Amino acid sequence: MQPDLANTLKRISAEGRDGFYKGETANLIVAEMQANDGLITHADLENYEVVWREPVQGNYRDYEIWSMPPPSSGGIMLLEMLNMLEPYDPGALGYGSVETLHLMIEAQRRAYADRAEYLGDPDFVDVPVEILTSKEYARHRFSDFDPMAASDSNAIGAGSWPAESPDTTHLSVMDSTGMAVSLTTTLNATYGNRWVIPGTGILMNNEMPDFAAKPAPPAPGSITGAVANAIEPGKRMMSSMAPTIVKKDGQVLLITGSPGGSTIINTVLQVIINVLDHDMGLEQAVMSPRIHHQWQPDSIRAEPGAMSEAVQAALVEMGHGNISISNSQGDANSILVRDGVIEGMADLREDGGVAGF
């Protein structure tokens, strides 16, 4: 039982915005701040505004892809990588093959370099959404792809960004009328900063590390990764959340998303590729082993079974170094609609569940 949280939710239900940002809830938050040298004031709460942003939208083959806009980097990067992969045929190349993994790694490498340079809060920086999600840009960005050799991440651009906690939550929901929701929400680390405002049941997040703590000026001839996501008053930090809906002929086909910090986007990418290109059923698409490359550090993380020893050796021969085996990547709770049947799959990597009502 969580009576404090229940009372907070009742106030929000009865009073709307004022049930949280003003009145009793706000008084409890500010009192806790004052008692523990916190920074949040009544003025901060009253002045905060939720911003409604239109999702980013693109196409991959004959499918519509709808995903999260900035300040999340997820949707833009997902579309950019799909655009890079579209001229190729991962299905024909085969799941887990050297050719398919090399393609995905090189697309991931370039997209994450762009993330570091261009992505941030669109209220503070000019995010070139239309360019980054265009087919023309993807062709240009992938024009130096070598099917026989790995790229040099430092030649593509150097930089870094803060580590993101993998402790996020994703829900995929669909009702009998076809209404679909893909929802990713986060406090950042497990239980946020592990501080509950007494009397409210509200956990405080620790999202500030998602800002670039030390903005780096551009170096001649290089791409840097911190300026667009630098800390500023009133600015929203960048995330990797990528709740996504895939449609075919105007109808919802796939609802997916994942937690996982910087691995989120690559997890979602692989679930989509598994369904659309490898023609997998939902359970196989969600549970197939995943890989992750994020440009810097220049290394590959792979779940057990994602690549055979022979494939791993071939990738190393191509110049892909620093391949490490990770225990788990993501928690892609998803829904697939085929032939009028709604199928749900709870990713077995984490605790979760699937239910119908």
Contact status, residue 141 vs residue 110, Cβ threshold 8 Å: yes
Contact status, residue 109 vs residue 160, Cβ threshold 8 Å: no
Sheet holding 323-325, edge to edge: 291-292, 300-302, 323-325
Angstrom CA distances, 26 to 6, 42, 120, stand at 15, 7, 28
φ/ψ (deg, to 5) at 311 = -65, -45
Closest CA to 275 of 307, 245, 304: 245
Residue 245 and residue 242: Cα distance in Å, rounded?
10
- Catalytic residue numbers read 168
Residue type at position 53: R
Residue with tokens 């494939």: 311
